[in-house]
Amino acid sequence: MVLGDGSVLEGTAFLKQQGLDVHVARFPDVNALLRALASSLIDLASGAPAAGVFSSALEDLPIKVFAATQPAEVQFVVPEGSPIKSLDQFRGKKIGMSPAGSSVAVIAGAVLAGNHGIGADDFSLVGGNESRLAQFLAQKQVDGAALRSVTVAQLKELKVTRLGSFAQEWQRLTGASSVPYIGIGAVRAEFVAEHPEALARVIAGLRNTLAWGDTHRDEVVAILRKSANLPEEDARIYAAQWNDMNRVAFEPADLQTLKRQHEVFAAGGLIKGSLPADLFVTGPYEAAKKLK
């Protein structure tokens, strides 16, 4: 898990209610989570980076995808008063975002190249987690950044101007109405083969956690303050965007969106090769629909 929904999952009993005895591991960034999955330190991850999972699958890592979990609620921003007025002006600039190889970096690269003719060599990617990126902006170490919407909302001292969202840029690039995913549910192939019913119960537990969080925002705030050490105002901002940032979905439209993401990444040279035909496993998700 990553911070936020992982804290709430750990602070509630929804997995236990499914008869599961689990250890919830939280990671400071999504790439660390993917490394843990690749090295079998964990069995599954609910917020694995989509681009990283695609790349790992193409490298024959025994991994499967069982859900789409984190829509790309990301904004391109510059400090208020910046001479940069549009994304076309990112050429030659230092742009902060999640590290190279992350879903944020890959989607940003795809839309900047496809919509604005700015290739990977036409700007400098400055990688970091969300808090570091905010610091880079405040200290003028970067000219702009791609930040999650919740991070933008949490900025207090630093005023920023939004130049566009991943959703807007993706829809312009693909002509589709969908929003790409930066996080997906990934599981070791061996685990899902041996324990498909356990994975179904995990999915049901995740689903119930998100539904509970939607109707218990004050409790979510309390959990985030305690386990994630968030100030109350930041925790309330996170809770207010709960449904925008978190999903447990694997319907045909979600599968189509993920396949389209891979096509866009591959067309831009950001990922090479075709996805394995059996990468997406839908059985546990469908089975979870029958669980309370």
Angle between helices 103-116 and 166-174 (to 10 degrees): 50
**Residues 102 and 128 sit within 8 Å (Cβ to Cβ):** no
pLDDT surpassing 80 at residue 42: yes
212-268 per-position pLDDT tens digit: 999 999 999 999 999 888 899 999 999 999 999 999 999 999 999 999 999 999 888
277 phi-psi bin (left φ>0, alpha ψ -120 to 50, beta other): alpha
**Domain limit, last residue, from 143, 174, 205:** 174
**Domain limit, last residue, from 154, 174, 194:** 174
* Residue 136, domain extent: 74-174
**Domain limit, last residue, from 152, 174, 196:** 174
- The per-residue pLDDT for 3 is 52
- Label residue 2 by pLDDT band (50, 70, 90): low
Say if residue 185 is in the same domain as residue 263.
yes
Q: What is the dihedral of CA 85, 91, 97, 100, to 10 degrees?
A: 160
Question: How many structural domains compose the chain?
Answer: 2
Predicted structure pTM score: 0.90
Say if residue 138 is in the same domain as residue 206.
no
102-120 per-position pLDDT tens digit: 899 999 999 999 999 999 9
Say if residue 80 is in the same domain as residue 208.
no
